[in-house]
Amino acid sequence: MALRNSSKPKKIGVVGVGSFGTAIANMLAEKSDVMVYARKEEVVAEINSVHMVAGRELNPGIQATSDPEKLCKICDILFFMVPSTGFLEAVRNFAPFLYPYHMIIHGTKGLALNLAPGENLDTVKKLKRSQILTMSEVILQETVAIRVGCLAGPNISKELILDQPAATVVASKYNEVILEGQRLLRSERFQVYGNSDIIGVELSGVLKNIIAIASGALAGLGLGENAKGLLISRGMVEMVHLSKALGGSVQSVMGLAGIGDLVTTCNSVDSRNFTVGFRLAKGESLDQILATMDEVAEGVNTVRIIDSFIKTVGIRAPITENLHRVLFEDLSIEDALQFLMKYPFSVDVDFV
């Protein structure tokens, strides 16, 4: 393994300056020198000259670059904060400049596909677990990095930027990644927990987005708190079964990255996934909604991937299945709700 020989403190790198990347960069800058990466030169110039990005303030000490090689040379620890739709491309851009001494922690709640050239979700007949990649699996597949972690939890960017109290989970198979994430991010207003089940933590952050879309739809229909309580509790059970089928643990779903994030996003008008469901219930089409959103609602792609997976392995996930029919077929939200109300759940909890 290549090692670094330098007593000089290294900068911490942040890849991506969307709302979450900006929030994390500002939090890191309270203790460390930070350099952020942005693809567009005009964004880099704006950050370096006026310390702003898309109307959001950045700590004046944060520098920006559009050069992956420069970031990798200056920073031994990188936080990847890129939407899942652009994650693979971003990792491939950085891969030539990464070494085993680099530590990578990502904050992306999405899935990627490992398909044959020319294949996509519409053409692939069966979608196996080996064809579905969490973001840590993308990093391990595409780079020589070894020490990989993820950041997940109820972390709505708007609240983090306002320095409101919150917590997150740093998950990794490597304890040093967890300890480093805690050292860099923990503060009086931000608690950082550790978890060795990185796949379970990643899946929790991914799967709750499906339930958040459904929760937004319930709110859009004006169906009240009882219905939301029903959805969140059944959604948690569905998340447990899906996580187990995909290689995660029950414990991670029951933790901060699972139920903690689930409750937050199912109740937040600032959640992009909640907003998709809310606007669907108000009569907008999915295409209209996605065309007018500033940032990606990860749950939409997740619904497609998970629906294809459960059809392949033959398990039932009624919320996901019906949400897929609402988003990509012609099922109305009202009919989906009627189906779920009549679905023959016979046992309340069956995984403890």
Any idea which residues carry the catalytic annotation? Answer: 208
Distances (CA, A) of 16 to 39, 79, 162, 182, 318: 8, 9, 19, 21, 35
Say how far apart CA 339 and CA 268 lie, in whole Å: 25
- Length of the chain (residues): 352
Q: Tell how far CA 218 is from the center of its chain.
A: 22
Say how far apart CA 209 and CA 225 lie, in whole Å: 19
63 DSSP β-pair partners: 35
Say how many Å lie between the first and final Cα of the chain, rounded: 42
Which helix or strand (DSSP H or E) is residue 152 part of? Answer: strand 147-152
Exposed e or buried b for every residue in 328-345, given b needs 16+ CB within 10 A?
A: eeebebeebbeebeeeee
Say how far apart CA 229 and CA 285 lie, in whole Å: 26
Say how far apart CA 196 and CA 35 lie, in whole Å: 28
Radius of gyration of the chain (CA): 20
